[in-house]
């Protein structure tokens, strides 16, 4: 057996962390909307401007508002041990700042390339991980039946490339559906299929026979079978091309990618950006662990440190490649959290801050942080929403040249926030 000499493929899969399984469980394709589970939305012709890439970073588990600390007295009072003031955070203005881990992101803000949007959520924001993640991934709106996830609807419009969307955090509702769904990978470094008897001739015949037997299958085409088959076909086509395109070394940057799971995923994202031949337009990254019911301050220091390390090197690489103006990076988290619960943690809440970065982003604090009065009047969490998250992503995809009406149906009435220059 060659086990010992092989790399542990758990690493290959490990980025599929909390949120992936969480996000995917009870999927609407199973039960709720089975009929439309794998259908196809309308496909537009190739219409997007070449090059621009949208990177969505999911802070899975529900990230609290302390990612962008609020300085109001009410907030400090209600979060006695976990909130921060200007003295121990990176102030953006008189009422709000960034967590101290985000030194490089503060620099990006100072360069005018980071926008902070407060009070982001959606109508009927669920406080269940599963439901809320599904709401954010599918972005259907009330009673909507749009097919699959919004990323799949986006890449359906970028039909020219098989790799227009890549998830570096496995499969989930966000990327399922449509005519050209994003490919689900985990780790480019360990990407590949083993050989039969460690011999190329044997392997080639084996694989060709397998693919031929698969192609001639006449088994009943259930939705599940179609999904499995398409996964198999996709991985087949993706394997060689991606490997070849992403094997080139990245340019040197001031701060090397740290050795964390999230940073490795960021490095893979950088490789995808550095391979324009792949035509990647959407990348999904995920960092789990934000379900901080207790001991939030330590968890945040650790999580934000890793998040910052990965994003810093990714942005530096994009700049070194001369592609920073083509890249937008947006965060998401299925919900925000309550005020401190007495265990140094927070429970499930609603509206949240969202960060958008990019060379073309009109950086600023877009709307004010929740006011002192609002915080005082609130129950244990900030309910409702000030900005529908789809409004933000809608502007980003419009900027990229996509038809946002097809990606975010029933959202046409939003007035622009002016997030891009």
Partner 1 sequence: MRTVFDNISAPRPLARGIHLLAIVALCIGLVLVPTDAFAKKRKKKVVRVKLSDIFTIDVSLRSGRKVINQELACYKKKPGRISETRKGLAFNSLDDQLKKMRQAGKQKSKKYKLTARLLKASKKDCANPKFLALTRYKGNFGEKEAKILFERFAFGGSPQQIDRAVRIGLAATVTELTTYQPDARIDAQVADITCDTYLATNPWNGEPDNRNESCNPYYANDFRTDGLRKALSWRMTYSNQPFFDRLFFWLHDERLSVNLSVVGSDERHALATYVGIVDRAARTGDYKQYMRSLNTDHLMALDWLDGAVNRGFNPNENWAREFWELGTTGPSDLNGNPVYSNFDIAQAALAHSGWTFVTEDRTIPGEDDERRFRYASFTPGFHYQGPTTIFGGTPHQAVVYDADDVLEATFRHPSTAESLALDMCHQFIRPDCPAILVRDLAKTIRTENYNLLPAFRRVMMSNAVYANDNRESLIKHPVELLIGFVRQTGINLTVDELDWWLNELDQRPLNPNSVFGWNETALAGESYVLAWRNVVLDIVNGLSPESLLENRGYDMHARYLSDNPSALVAIDRVASGLNIPLNEAQRQALEQYMNFHRTTCRSWHVQSYGCTEGELFLERRQFDSYPQGNWDDKLRPLIGLLAMLPEYRMK
Query: What gap in Å lies between CA 384 and CA 120, rounded to an integer?
Result: 9
Per CB under 8 A, contacts with partner 1 among 139-158 are 143, 145
3 state DSSP class of 331: strand
> Which tokens go with 254?
């001031």
Distance, CA of 306 to CA of 103 (rounded, Å) = 12
Nearer to partner 1, 32 or 368 (CB): 32
Per CB under 8 A, 259 contacts partner 1: no
DSSP state of 148: S
Sign of dihedral through CA atoms 351, 357, 361, 366?
positive
Report if residue 24 touches partner 1, rule: CB under 8 A: yes
In whole angstroms, what separates CA 255 from the centre of its chain? 23
172 lines the binding site for partner 1 (CB under 8 A) = yes
Residue closer to partner 1 (CB basis): 207 or 319: 207
Closest to partner 1 by CB, 131 vs 360, is 131
- Cα–Cα distance for residue pair 287/160, rounded to 1 Å: 30
Q: Which listed residue (179, 260, 325, 380) binds partner 1 by CB under 8 A?
A: 380
Shorter beta-carbon distance to partner 1: residue 140 or 317? 140
Interaction between residue 364 and partner 1 (CB under 8 A): no
> Which three-class secondary structure state does DSSP give residue 326?
helix
Q: Is 58 helix (H, G, I), strand (E, B) or coil?
A: strand
Tokens at 63, concatenated: 């990230």
**Does 220 contact partner 1 by CB under 8 A?**
yes
Interaction of residue 223 with partner 1, rule CB under 8 A: yes
CB of 290 to partner 1, least distance (A): 12
Please report whether residue 197 would count as binding partner 1 according to CB under 8 A: yes
| Torsion angles phi and psi, residue 287, rounded to 5 | -130, 125
Residue 300 is encoded by which pair of tokens? 């945040």
**411 makes contact with partner 1 (CB under 8 A):** no
Binders of partner 1 among residues 292 to 311 (CB under 8 A) are 293-294
Question: CB of 138 within 8 A of CB of 146?
Answer: yes
Whichever of 13 and 91 has its CB closer to partner 1, that residue is: 13
Q: Cα–Cα distance between 3 and 1 in angstroms, integer? A: 6
Nearest distance from C-beta of residue 267 to partner 1, angstroms = 17
CB of 39 to partner 1, least distance (A): 10
Please list every residue from 313 through 342 that binds partner 1, using CB under 8 A.
341-342
Span of 45-53, 109-117, 177-185, 321-329 interacting with partner 1 by CB under 8 A: 177-185
Buried/exposed code over 275-314 (b: 16+ C-beta within 10 A; e: otherwise): beebbbbbbbbbbbbbbbbeebbebbeebbbbbbbbbbbb
User: How many residues in the shown chain lie near partner 1 by CB under 8 A?
Assistant: 90
Q: 368 vs 47, 364, 378, 419, CA distance in Å?
A: 35, 11, 16, 15
228 binds partner 1 (CB under 8 A): yes
List the interface residues with partner 1, window 82-141 (CB under 8 A).
126-131
Instruction: Scan for tokens 């609002």, then name that residue.
Output: 374
Q: Does 415 bind partner 1 (CB under 8 A)?
A: no
Q: In angstroms, rounded to a whole number, what is the distance separating the alpha carbons of residues 33 and 117?
A: 32
Which stretch, 87-95, 182-190, 258-266, 298-306, contacts partner 1 (CB under 8 A)?
Answer: 182-190
For the bound state, the minimum distance from the C-beta of residue 269 to partner 1, rounded and expressed in Å, comes to 16
Smallest distance from partner 1 to CB 227, Å? 7
Asked if 293 and 340 touch (Cβ cutoff 8 Å), the reply is no
Minimum gap (Å) between residue 277 Cβ and partner 1: 20
Q: How crowded is the C-beta side of 276, counted as CA atoms within 13 Å?
A: 10
- Interaction of residue 26 with partner 1, rule CB under 8 A: yes
Least distance from partner 1 to the Cβ atom of residue 239, Å? 8
Q: Residue 73 interacts with partner 1 (CB under 8 A)? A: no
Q: How far is the CB of 401 from partner 1 (least distance, A)?
A: 27
Residue closer to partner 1 (CB basis): 92 or 336: 336
Query: How far is 287 from 305, CA to CA, in rounded Å?
Result: 12
């Amino acid at each position: 057996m060659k086990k010992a000499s092989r790399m542990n493929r758990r690493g290959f899969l490990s980025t599929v962390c909390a949120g992936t399984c969480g996000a995917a469980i009870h999927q609407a394709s199973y039960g709720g909307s089975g009929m439309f589970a794998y259908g196809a939305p309308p496909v537009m012709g190739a219409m997007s401007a070449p090059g621009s890439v949208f990177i969505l970073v999911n802070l899975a588990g529900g990230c609290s508002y302390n990612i962008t600390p609020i300085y109001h007295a009410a907030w400090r009072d209600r979060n006695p041990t976990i909130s921060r003031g200007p003295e121990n955070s990176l102030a953006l203005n008189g009422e709000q700042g960034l967590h101290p881990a985000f030194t490089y992101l503060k620099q990006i803000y100072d360069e005018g390339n980071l926008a902070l949007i407060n009070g982001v959520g959606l109508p009927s924001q669920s406080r269940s991980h599963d439901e809320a993640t599904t709401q954010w991934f599918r972005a259907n709106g009330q009673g909507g039946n749009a097919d699959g996830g919004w990323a799949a609807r986006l890449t359906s419009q970028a039909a020219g490339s098989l790799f227009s969307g890549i998830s570096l955090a496995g499969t989930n509702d966000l990327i399922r559906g449509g005519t050209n769904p994003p490919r689900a990978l985990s780790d480019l470094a360990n990407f590949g299929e083993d050989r039969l008897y460690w011999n190329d001739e044997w392997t080639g015949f084996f694989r060709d026979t397998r693919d031929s037997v698969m192609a001639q299958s006449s088994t009943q085409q259930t939705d599940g079978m179609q999904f499995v088959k398409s996964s198999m076909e996709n991985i087949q086509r993706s394997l060689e091309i991606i490997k070849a395109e992403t094997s080139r070394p990245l340019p040197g940057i001031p701060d090397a990618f740290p050795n964390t799971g999230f940073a490795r995923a960021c490095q893979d994202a950088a490789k995808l950006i550095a391979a324009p031949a792949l035509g990647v337009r959407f990348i999904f990254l995920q960092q789990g662990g934000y379900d901080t019911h207790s001991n939030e301050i330590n968890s945040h220091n650790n999580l934000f440190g890793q998040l910052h390390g990965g994003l810093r090197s990714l942005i530096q690489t994009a700049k070194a490649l001369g592609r920073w103006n083509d890249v937008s990076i947006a965060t998401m988290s299925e919900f925000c959290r309550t005020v401190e619960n007495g265990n140094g943690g927070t429970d499930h809440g609603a509206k949240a801050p969202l960060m958008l970065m990019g060379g073309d982003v009109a950086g600023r604090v877009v709307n004010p942080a929740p006011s002192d009065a609002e915080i005082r009047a609130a129950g244990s969490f900030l309910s409702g929403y000030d900005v529908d998250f789809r409004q933000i992503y809608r502007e980003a995809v419009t900027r990229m040249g996509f038809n946002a009406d097809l990606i975010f149906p029933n959202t046409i009435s939003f007035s622009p926030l002016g997030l891009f220059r």
